[in-house]
Structure 1
């Protein structure tokens, strides 16, 4: 094979370097991506690439609906992962012949932005409540607008294309009008109700929170064991009691990690299937608060843990206590008769059966405060327990609560208030505290303030997800829950499939949707309530289509701020109802309702939406099973009868190289800006494509070095193609039927790859695309096909069939690799494309994946070449032994003897020019038995190699060692090179 540009002619030969066709390209070896990528961004903007693609008519629609990021800060690596995945999906589907429209969007309302503005006020010593609410909302709007502009440019720098000039914003006036319209559908179909039940409440932010707004962190809580003394055996209406008299002197022991809820206790629950016992204390340690002789009722499986906590050194189990004995048992509240209690707790505390009671931890009895927990609330509903309103919005007890008035559970700075300790002291003073301690456990925190949350009973607005809807959209069920579950089961595909079970379980078990927030920045709950009416009264809510239409018209014209203008109620109700008879609701909607409604004002209402208002794909992180996927499913099930998506694709979280969660405090964060600054956006995109994004991904310096190495190898493949194709024109093209077998084998591989690449792109499996193409480029091309055909490309005559066929195949490879890789590496493949096909209007991103003829597939030929490649590995291995021993320097110095036992394989090797395949100057194929000492590979049976040196002189043009060198017209050449020079 001929020399490359680093070789020099010997002193006794003619210099033929100018006669060989060495690769030539201006495509640089070094990418220089950080500096060059902005040039391509500017070019794409000048060419208006995204909108040019929309001009391609007759294409089937494909819409990935963008889950809106929050407009309140610079992008982090999770944002980059998310948007790059979406971009690869959009670009690949566009290049597979779809009309892949992409409208980016932003979530603009809600507490995070409001919180930022409040922080600015606090820093200036101002109080938000002293500011006009419309002025405050406008400040929030300006804040969001500023971050939308920042994030838009950061997303574009990643190479993400879309309709950036006209994104959707949840704070746009039309969006606010549609969100209100979607809310009023709940008002009109009967799903909306006002209820008083415990919700997760942030004392710091003073608002209810959705599950998606909560994150769980380790937290150390007080833990207490409390005696509830038996007061009587008076019969509770629903229960049949058969309590024995020895229980009248006993105490039922509860365990809780929320001492602050004790003042709100209204019952104690027991498990009907749990085994209980009556225990008499016989001996106690010095600091025990237990009393010798007292009797305690406990679950048997938990009794020992209670004994240790209470420092009881000896006790006697007196007898079994059947759960039926608790029927009709009445306990005394621990604070009954407390000095200064003013009779606040002098009520009966019934014992009630509860299926939620287990013997996994605690005592087997559950202290029940219906205002502060869902299980407690449900038990309270069943047995008509009274709700309490002792805890105010900042988590302080109401001022007039005896003993504890004004004390906080959580202080305004997020730290623990005095309420827990005060209750523990009061329990001890009352003789009810059996034991105390602390426990570290996972506890809900607000993901904004990072402060612990509490469960608190407040009047809120809910969407009843089991309310039967008579709205004419019952094809998939007559309730929100049924429609959502049917959608999950029958209408939606999940990637990965585990997402289906995750979302199904959440929908199946969730309570009604809390829609209201006690904040200022958002879309208000556009409804009116009748003064003096109860929430259960049929006329409590004003339901009138004319009023609704007036509200929507005002929102379309001026935005949701008009709701807060003086006199708006009067205008909305004019001629319909007396405004004096109604209150205007000023809570704002849960921000998840905003984003859950995007299908209506983006997919349904925009010209670049979808005909049926349903997206082909929703794609977000795994946390969105309880976030955007969840809220969109509930909202659309309520207002359009089914899920707003056909596919749900989920990615994991981004971790550091050690698998740890990224944290600024740990100093292990990796920002997309720093990766782009050092490597370029294409390296970041390639990292995304290399990972299995359905799992958690790791990123860091060493990982990025590995990605950069993979990139370099792909780039070198494309650079070789460009160099070898210098000057190629259509006159050279060879029909596949006239090509040598090796070229037809490459075409077969391209036909295989075309099907694989399209299949993996359709399945959103980019790591599959990358691995397939990377292995093809490095193994099939660089290490095999290119290696073999360099000799023909460099040294054959320009018009030789073999060289023309090889160049034809390289052209076909170029067009497919450049387009197949363009969704992943848009900057680099644009550079590759323009290096060969320059032009003012040229762009790889205006091109589709080329159609690949099915006729290129040839399974018999592929099987034959599998055998050829296996035999080649044996030859290569044998020559490597000689090279290591310094017997030869290059494979062209060899003319090995290859012994082949299988006659079919021998015939195959004889038919393909096996010396060229092995890059040797000659080869002898033999069916003779392999001699002793021949080189062989265990995984290629029946093939063995005996080394022999090449005979003859070295051709000074192609460097093959052949007997005929020196016998031709051109000095020092072989017959092939002499003919080429002629």
Structure 2
């Protein structure tokens, strides 16, 4: 026997993992450095250059508003967009992301006005273009801040050349889109009740309104009947005497209405009823009230609501007669405030919007103050004119919420001056009280009360709005456009041709388009793109392409400020039209028209993009916002949607499911998460959640994602350490051991899953699949089995080189598949593996050979793993009872009664697979005391201790330790490895 010169430190002879990729990520420190590096190296330009000539994939960015730091909703939104664009870029597309910003509109204007108020300045005394420049500067400041915050999230895009709605070219294109609509006859000036913010002094679109609970005055009002007529049919049914009596009863009765907006009574012009509801005539028999109906009065209600209404007025009612629809339709009432000058007749109108769920069964109809009221009035205009009724719709309330002279008794000439609905702070004015006092004085207030209900508020000022009739500029929804279509039909057809993720978004947007009224475009503000048309006194639009060309040329050079510049009217008309007849419209465009037009100056005008976009992605509220306005604008000018697919996400709630609120202290900001944990943790949360629904976020959820991240990182770290010993050997598939073939088969399966899920925008499926694969199939199975081979086998070992080959493929696949989701971590890992590489983000998804798919091996190893689970379960008990310390101390006997399972184990080193020093597999049921799983697997395990000596290098207990005289304390396998290592060293 050869004497060993000295005891060998065997740890130095093992291929243990070696890597500088740290276990502790340190993301808050590393990520900003990496983002700065990407910016310095021009990663965005390198991406564009690498993708030149490929098929384009375009996700068009819905513009956030440039007026504050980003919040968690922005982070969710931008991460989703970034992952989509990166995933398509890494799958062979030219997937360019161009960020954009909405810059015009009320919120920015409001901020500048607040500064003025603080300094005692009056906005109206400042030249309009000077004011607009301050708005422009304010927006640009926030664009710069938000751009850096988005980059900190790892968002990659053309931040050096974003689109903004306030760029001169953008403003010219927005104006051009408006002029297309105007020239095609789709734009008109009309008078309709719209939602109006008294606080902000502007019209609001539905998308600019949110609902909040308020407590309102509610009143029941009597409208005295002044005329009633019975049809010949009704007279024949009742008979002469009864008909006369019925007419006398009706002419002495009052129709009772109910409303939660007492201030709208001066705008009343009709009462609506439903021919589908049973009504009745009632008489008051008892009364116990300070005001209101008294015994002997006759009142008309929906029958099912009469008793409830009587209780409100503290009266007892007696049913006199049922009333039919033809009787109600022939009634004419007096206005309850006729003594104040409301001397016109109030007709009864049959309306589908009337129900008997609440109130009285009659709807007070003020066409100046409600959409349904307006529609009911307009549907009956011809019939009303035939009856000699004045159909003109009044303007009872001005832009500041004061009554006008169209509200006699409450306007400027009334005693005490004009009453006010809401004041400048959105607080309730004196209008309700003055109207109710007048109704009491006229003996026409039936009852009053208070009610809590949902009421529209401006989502900016958070103050209540009112419905107010005012001249505005609209786009027709139902005007025939010369090709047999209308804007509504075009939009509905486009929705049918669009892919929606989730699919429910299609029905939601369709319902909104089906029900929406004409599109109101005008806003009474200063900061935005003007409605740059000339109109005469009747609202006719000047149609002259030469005038339009001068306008657009000026906007392109000077921006929309050109419209407000001194001498603009003369400049654009150029003496070719009567300046007295044609007046410049002073309103600006709704900002939703701005954002709805972004597809023109972004997708159409940039050669690095294309029209239409492949995808629009925003929050689900944008069915009524950006998706909606983009659809209408594009359908009005191009006949189709500007997108092929629409993806929506929900909103982020606090961990307990409540809305995030500073007052509740449950707000999570992306800045805080990145500072404490890193952007990749936040991104992993976005990817793991069901973003289509409302999500939750808080400390516990963040910690859950940190734990999941650590497991993924540790898997990557172990692979990097192991691959430090890889020489890049390529192993033919036929030469691979079955276990390696199984791993490649799983990569082939995952490749299909990952690509399909990225196509379907199902990111949580990818994260779950890859995380489970890394944790369960790699760390706890494959790596665990192969550690002995990788650490201890000789350099020439085919099994070891095969394992390294497969781990190389595993590393490439996992890191590249995860790259769109966790750009910082995957970049760190990729460059750690290959410091000469430029960036993981310049790579493509890995090519997975179709030959790797091997169902035969996969099916066989299902059986192998089933038997292994039984062995593992038995050894776990042995460890727990401290009969063994490590599984290498065991040499179990495994009884397999299932012939198929037994066949699956044939030819395998099952001890290696179970990480034991030895194992014996025999056919049969095994003894009754043997360990069995309760899953029905026909496997019984007898735990036995391994026989032999413990190898000083691999720690296996074998009978061949000492068989090599040069290495007396190691196994034969390890001795051979040591000999090869010694020869290689020289």
The verdict on a shared fold, with TM-score over 0.5 as the criterion, is yes
Query: Is the aligned partner of 1:693 residue 2:691?
Result: yes
Tell me, yes or no, if the aligned pair for 1:871 and 1:940 is still in contact at 8 Å. no
Contact conserved, 1:254 with 1:362, CA < 8 A, in 2?
A: yes
Aligned counterparts of 2:515 and 2:203: Cα–Cα separation in 1: 20
- Equivalent residue, structure 1, for 2:577: 577
Q: 2:283 aligns with which of 280, 283, 288?
A: 280
Q: Does 1:371 find its partner at 2:368?
A: yes
Report SS of the residue matched to 1:55: helix
> In 2, Cα distance between the equivalents of 1:890 and 1:923?
15
- CA displacement, residues 441-466 of structure 1 (integer Å, 9 cap, x when unaligned): 11110011110001100000000011
1:257 is matched with which residue? 260
The answer for the alignment partner of 1:601 in structure 2 is 601
Write the mapping of 1:778-927 to structure 2, written as runs, cut at 5 A.
778-839=775-836, 842-927=838-923
Pick from 945, 964, 970 the counterpart of residue 968 of structure 1. Answer: 964
Q: How does 1:343-382 map to 2 (within 5 A)?
A: 344-382=341-379
Matched, 1:335 2:337: yes
Cα shift at 1:401: 4.1
In the alignment, which residue of structure 2 is the partner of 1:164?
Answer: 159
Matched, 1:394 2:397: no
State yes or no: 1:478 paired with 2:485: yes
What is residue 388 of structure 2 aligned with on the other side? none
Determine which of 951, 958, 961 is the counterpart of 2:954.
Answer: 958
Structure 1 match to 2:670? 672
2:299 corresponds to which residue?
Answer: 296
Q: State the Cα distance separating 1:380 from its structure 2 match.
A: 1.2
Instruction: Give the equivalent residue in structure 2 for 1:563.
Output: 563
Aligned to 1:317: 319
How far does residue 940 in structure 1 lie from its aligned partner after superposition?
Answer: 4.3
| Contact 1:106–1:169 (Cα < 8 Å) also in 2 | yes
Aligned to 2:984: none
How far is the alpha carbon of 1:116 from its aligned partner? 0.5
| 1:770 maps onto 2:777 in alignment | no
Shift of 1:846: 0.6
Could you tell me which residue of structure 1 aligns to residue 475 of structure 2? Answer: 463
1:734-773 matched pairs, under 5 angstroms: 734-773=731-770
Q: Give the deviation of 1:968 after TM superposition.
A: 2.2
1:415-430 equivalences under 5 Å are 415-430=427-442
Please, which of 511, 515, 521 is the counterpart of residue 509 of structure 1? 515
User: Any conservation in 1 of the 2:228–2:250 contact (CA below 8 Å)?
Assistant: no
The answer to whether the 8 Å contact 2:181/2:637 transfers is: yes
1:366-425: CA deviations, max 9, x gaps? 000001001110111122233111100011112684332222111101111111121112
Segment drifting more, 43-52 vs 283-292: 283-292
Aligned with residue 710 of structure 1, among 704, 708, 711: 708
> For the Cα contact (< 8 Å) 2:619–2:651, is it kept in 1?
yes
Mean Cα displacement is larger for which, 194-203 or 909-918?
909-918
CA distance in 2, matches of 1:438, 1:401: 24
Q: Is the 8 A contact 2:291 2:443 kept in 1?
A: no
Larger CA deviation: 44-53 vs 65-74: 44-53
Deviates further, 254-263 or 963-972: 963-972
Q: Check whether the contact 1:444–1:452 (CA below 8 A) recurs between aligned residues.
A: yes
SS of residue paired to 1:54: helix
The answer as to whether partners of 1:184 and 1:548 remain within 8 angstroms in 2 is yes
Report SS of the residue matched to 1:936: coil
- Which of these residues, 907, 917, 929, is aligned with residue 933 of structure 1? 929
- How far 1:702 sits from its partner (Å)? 0.9
Q: Is 1:267–2:274 an aligned residue pair?
A: no
Could you tell me how far 1:944 is from its partner in structure 2? Answer: 1.4
Tell me how far apart the structure 1 counterparts of residues 371 and 900 of structure 2 sit (CA, whole Å): 76
User: Is the 2:889–2:916 Cα contact (8 Å) retained in structure 1?
Assistant: yes
Q: Gaps spanning 5+ residues in structure 1: where? A: 1-11
Q: Is 1:51–2:63 an aligned residue pair?
A: no
**Match status 1:403 vs 2:415:** no
Task: Give CA deviations for 1:504-559 in whole Å, capped at 9, x if unaligned.
Answer: 000011000000001000000111112xx423xxxx21101111111000100111
**1: distance between equivalents of 2:659 and 2:26?**
31
CA contact (8 A) 1:234 1:330 kept: no
Residue deviations 1:19-46 (CA, integer Å, cap 9, x gap) = 1111110001100011111111111112
Q: How many Å separate the matches in 1 of 2:208 and 2:104?
A: 14
For residue 625 of structure 1, what is the aligned residue in structure 2? 623
1:308 shift after superposition: 2.2
Other structure's SS at 2:21 match: coil
Deviation (angstroms), 1:13: 7.5
Shift of 1:235: 9.3
Q: 2:645 aligns with which of 644, 647, 651?
A: 647
Contact 1:14 1:972 in 2 (8 A): no
What root-mean-square deviation, in Å, do the aligned CA atoms of Structure 1 and Structure 2 show?
A: 1.6
Take 1:439 and 1:930, find their aligned partners in 2: how far apart are those partners?
78
> What displacement does 1:305 show?
2.1
The count of residues paired between Structure 1 and Structure 2 equals 947
Normalised by the length of structure 2, the TM-score is: 0.94
1:152 alignment partner, one of 147, 154, 157: 147
Of the three residues 25, 33, 45, the one matched with 2:27 is 33
Shift of 1:327: 2.0
SS at match of 1:910: coil
Whole-Å separation in 1 of the counterparts to 2:706 and 2:291:
65
Q: How far apart, in 1, do the equivalents of 2:929 and 2:393 lie?
A: 92
Shift of the 401–478 alpha-carbon distance from structure 1 to 2, 3 Å rule, reads closer
Residue 90 of structure 2 corresponds to 95
Task: Report the Cα offset of residue 140 of structure 1.
Answer: 0.5
1:589 aligns with 589
Cα distance in structure 2, aligned partners of 1:735 and 1:308: 90
**Secondary structure class of the residue paired with 2:338:** coil
1:910–1:925: 8 Å Cα contact kept in structure 2? Answer: no
Comparing 167-176 with 315-324, greater Cα deviation is found at 315-324
Contact kept in structure 2, 1:266 and 1:386, CA below 8 Å: no
- For 2:433 and 2:683, the matched residues in 1 are separated by 53
Shift of 1:288: 6.5
Q: Per-residue displacement from partner, 1:296-341 (whole Å, max 9, x unpaired)? A: 21112222321222222x322222111221122011111112xxx2
Distance in 1 between the 2:335 and 2:291 partners?
Answer: 22
- Give the secondary-structure state (helix, strand or coil) at the position aligned to 2:223: strand
CA distance in 2: counterparts of 1:81 and 1:381, whole angstroms: 45
Q: State the 1:233 CA deviation.
A: 2.0
Q: Distance in 2 between matches of 1:557 and 1:258?
A: 49
Tell me what 2:414 maps to.
none
